[in-house]
Each structure stands twice: as structure tokens, then as C-alpha cells.
């Protein structure tokens, strides 16, 4: 699996196009030497290994075993910032070496009221804590479940982000010319519920997909209009693109597809009492199945989230969220579902985050728990991270899944329960 597209070339083209006028060669050379003298190189080296705690006949016993070197190079000129960040990975589970280009962008503020960021970038917005409604930027669920650092939950997008600022409100527009899907659960590393087979599957039934991939036609656009009023952050969102993880099947049921999706939503966040509260909702319009009659395509949904975080002791924080997904055309969908639908109309989810810092904040103990009373399943993420010194950190954690049914969102991953340890040297 190589995530690297020929992006540096695109960036180079952007740089040339965006350069103010045609630069004299001398000036260009000057810029180049400045670019090198302003250069800043950082990164980390990491070893990470993890084991499955339950026998999974469809996956390897080791859940993760990799070495990773991240190099982060940034520099700037008067008129722009540049950044390239990439990981070289020796993956002993896939038995191959990978290069994952995480960021490669140019940033500039051509006007006081405008910022531009073009290239490969990680993007996040919305108010949820590990729950996403209006953030439809790519996620890497596989990395999340096998115990990589939480930084890897966010997969990069190849996009242009235009930000406009005014006293009335601010506007972000993110244009992705070619659809970037999630790095979804395909069976490669995580076994999952395969509805066609009617059982748990993994490496024996890797999900193949038909992904929209036409440049400038199969594109995505995400918009956020936001304003801070007395430190309450209000935002409206809109997204036009595709379900980010497979949201249906082709007619022959041989391939997973990414049906059209539009999302409209809003959020607010701010201090409430002694803590921070947030509210967010979204209307998911499954555009390829407006009536909900196509059982092979995801139903339209309403999604709603409310959360509250508070410090409950010294260096001890607790966060609580309630989240619900409500299917809008449930009965049509259920009747037309080829394999019979197993989920309820509403999926309720409660999350609890507990974080305690100890030993001068060098030891961080945290537990994030998802619990769905409707699906009757649980996903727990305990993690302990100790900073041995300013460069070296050691870490241990687990991804624990359980549930009453093999087909629910987290219940399907029961056999993927794993524990992991890691050592990271940052420079």
C-alpha cells in the first residue's frame, strides 16, 4: 500500500504559477539560498509492536510491528511558508517498506483577509472528540484501531484550502480535486463483519472498492462559515462529495462503493459552567439514494452530538459526549436491504475520556471509551505515555472491543482486540 502520489511535482507547478510575476534568475537563486538557510528539520524515530489478545483466524497474530522515521522539513520566504513531512516505514506485518507523505504544502497570505494552503495537508474542524460529524476529511481507521499514535487517525488530503476573514464571519473553503477516501477497514489488518458472507472476515475477503477517481470531476468541496462571539465559537458547514468509507455496494455485490454524499450542519462550542461544552449536528444526505429505497446504499441520516469536558481534579480531566445517528428512511431501507438489516434506526453512542497527568506531567494516563447502548458494544482505548526525557518517550496501550453481536460497529472488531508498546525518539 503506497499512499504517495506524485504530489511534489504538483507543488512545484503551484509554486511556479503562484510566484509573483516571472522572477529574475538572480532573484530566484536568492530565494533558493534563503529557503535553505531558513530550513528547519525535525522528526522522530519510532518502534511500535502489538499483539492480538484473541485468536483471529483471518488475521496475523501480530497486530502491529513497525519502525518509522518521520522527517519534517519546513522553511519560508517573505511571501510563503513551505512544509514537507513524510514517514519512512518498515512494516514487518506487511513485510514491506512504505513511504507515507503526510504533508507537502505551500502556505501564503496574499491579502490581509486571505490565507491559502495548497498541497497535501491534514485538515480538521468540528467540535467532537474522536467523533466526527462535519469533519469529512480523511481518517485512517486502520491506524487508529491497530494502535498507532492518534496523530495517524487523520489521513492527509490533497487539497487547496482558501480562508477568508472578515468582521462579519470567516469562511474556509477546501477543494479536493480528486476524492480522498478514508483509509478504511478493508480486512487487511483488521477483521470485520462481511455482510455478503454473513460472517467475520479478514485477509480471506479483502474489500475491493470502486473508488471515484477522475481528476476535477470526482472532487470534494467542504465549506465552513464561522464566527467567534464572546468566545462562543459558532460554525456552519457544508460538504459535497462521497461517503468517505464505503457506503454501499455495486449491483453485483462484488465491490464496495462510495456513493454521493452531501452534508449540512452546524456547531457551537464555549465555556459552560466550570468546563467546556459543545453541540454539533449534521444532515447526511445520501444523494444516490434520496428515497432510501436502495438497500445497497447508505440511508440518509441526522447526526447529533453534545459534549462536556471539565477538570475534575488536579491535572485530571473528564470528558463526556452523547452522539446519535438517526436513519431517515429506515423502513424503506430495511425492506430493500438484501441481507436484512441488523442495525436499529438510531445508533446511540456515549463516549467518556479520562486523562490524568502525573510526575510533573511527564506521565499521562488516559482512557477513552466508546459505549453504544443500542448496539450493545464497547471500544476502549487505554494508554500510558511516559516521557523519559525531552527526547525519549515510551508508551503502552490497548484497543479493546467487545459486543453482543458480531455485526455492530465495534462488536465486529472483537477479535481485533490488541495491546501495543512503543518507543519514540523525537529530534
Under the rule (CB under 8 A), what is the footprint of another protein? 42, 44, 76, 81, 107, 115, 117, 121-125, 150-151, 153-154, 163, 165, 170, 226, 228, 231, 233, 269-271, 274-276, 278, 309-311, 314-315, 317, 357, 360-362, 387, 389-391, 393, 424, 426-427
Strand order in the sheet with 248-249: 209-210, 256-257, 248-249
Least distance from another protein to the Cβ atom of residue 403, Å: 28
Nearest CB to another protein, comparing residues 135 and 416:
135
Nearest CB to another protein, comparing residues 142 and 299:
142
Least distance from another protein to the Cβ atom of residue 276, Å: 4
Q: How would you class 88 by CB atoms within 10 Å of its CB: exposed for 0-12, middle for 13-18, buried for 19 or more?
A: middle
Nearest CB to another protein, comparing residues 55 and 274:
274
Nearest CB to another protein, comparing residues 25 and 37:
37
Least distance from another protein to the Cβ atom of residue 328, Å: 30
Q: How would you class 130 by CB atoms within 10 Å of its CB: exposed for 0-12, middle for 13-18, buried for 19 or more?
A: middle
- Cα–Cα distance, 406 to 386 (Å, whole number): 35
Nearest CB to another protein, comparing residues 330 and 425:
425
Least distance from another protein to the Cβ atom of residue 344, Å: 31
Least distance from another protein to the Cβ atom of residue 25, Å: 27
Residues 6+ apart with CB under 8 A from 262: 238, 239, 240, 284, 285, 287
Nearest CB to another protein, comparing residues 315 and 404:
315
Closest by CA position to 191, among listed 418, 391, 368, 397? 418
Nearest CB to another protein, comparing residues 262 and 317:
317
Nearest CB to another protein, comparing residues 26 and 78:
78
Amino acid at each position: 500500500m503506497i499512499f504517495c502520489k506524485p504530489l511534489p511535482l504538483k507543488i512545484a507547478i503551484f509554486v511556479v504559477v503562484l510566484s509573483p510575476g516571472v522572477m529574475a534568475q538572480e532573484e530566484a537563486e536568492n530565494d533558493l539560498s534563503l529557503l535553505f538557510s531558513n530550513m528547519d528539520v525535525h522528526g522522530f524515530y519510532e518502534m511500535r509492536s502489538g499483539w492480538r489478545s484473541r485468536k483471529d483466524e483471518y488475521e496475523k497474530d501480530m497486530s502491529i510491528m513497525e519502525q518509522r522515521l518521520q522527517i519534517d522539513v519546513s522553511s519560508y520566504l517573505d511571501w510563503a511558508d513551505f512544509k514537507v513531512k513524510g514517514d519512512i516505514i518498515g512494516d514487518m506485518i506487511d513485510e514491506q517498506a512504505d513511504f507515507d507523505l503526510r504533508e507537502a504544502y505551500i502556505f501564503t497570505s496574499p491579502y490581509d483577509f486571505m490565507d491559502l494552503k495548497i498541497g497535501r495537508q491534514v485538515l480538521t474542524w468540528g467540535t467532537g472528540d474522536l467523533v466526527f460529524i462535519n469533519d469529512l476529511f480523511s481518517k485512517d481507521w486502520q491506524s487508529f484501531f491497530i494502535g498507532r499514535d492518534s496523530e495517524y487517525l487523520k489521513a492527509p488530503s490533497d487539497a487547496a484550502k482558501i480562508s477568508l476573514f472578515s468582521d462579519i464571519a470567516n469562511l474556509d473553503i477546501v477543494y479536493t480535486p480528486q476524492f480522498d477516501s478514508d483509509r478504511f477497514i478493508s480486512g487487511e489488518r483488521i477483521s470485520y463483519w462481511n455482510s455478503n458472507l454473513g460472517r467475520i472476515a479478514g485477509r480471506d475477503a479483502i474489500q475491493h472498492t470502486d473508488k471515484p477517481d477522475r481528476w476535477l470531476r470526482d472532487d470534494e468541496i467542504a465549506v465552513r462559515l464561522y464566527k467567534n462571539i464572546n468566545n462562543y465559537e459558532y460554525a456552519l458547514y457544508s460538504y459535497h462529495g462521497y461517503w468517505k468509507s464505503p457506503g454501499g455496494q455495486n449491483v453485483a455485490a462484488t465491490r464496495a462503493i462510495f456513493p454521493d454524499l452531501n452534508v449540512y450542519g452546524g456547531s457551537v462550542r464555549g465555556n459552560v459552567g466550570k468546563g467546556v461544552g459543545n453541540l454539533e449536528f449534521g444532515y447526511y444526505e445520501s444523494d444516490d439514494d434520496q428515497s432510501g429505497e436502495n438497500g445497497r446504499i447508505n440511508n440518509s441520516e441526522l447526526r447529533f452530538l453534545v459534549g462536556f469536558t471539565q477538570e475534575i481534579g488536579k491535572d485530571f480531566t473528564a470528558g463526556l459526549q452523547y452522539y446519535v445517528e438517526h436513519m431517515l428512511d429506515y423502513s424503506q431501507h430495511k425492506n430493500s436491504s438484501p441481507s436484512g438489516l441488523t442495525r436499529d434506526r438510531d445508533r446511540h453512542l456515549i463516549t467518556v475520556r479520562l486523562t490524568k497527568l502525573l510526575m510533573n506531567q511527564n506521565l499521562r494516563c488516559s482512557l477513552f471509551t466508546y459505549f453504544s447502548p443500542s448496539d450493545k458494544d464497547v471500544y476502549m482505548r487505554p494508554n500510558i505515555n511516559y516521557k523519559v526525557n525531552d527526547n525519549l518517550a515510551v508508551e503502552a496501550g490497548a484497543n479493546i472491543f467487545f459486543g453482543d453481536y458480531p455485526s455492530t460497529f465495534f462488536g465486529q472488531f472483537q477479535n481485533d482486540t490488541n495491546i501495543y508498546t512503543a518507543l519514540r525518539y523525537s529530534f
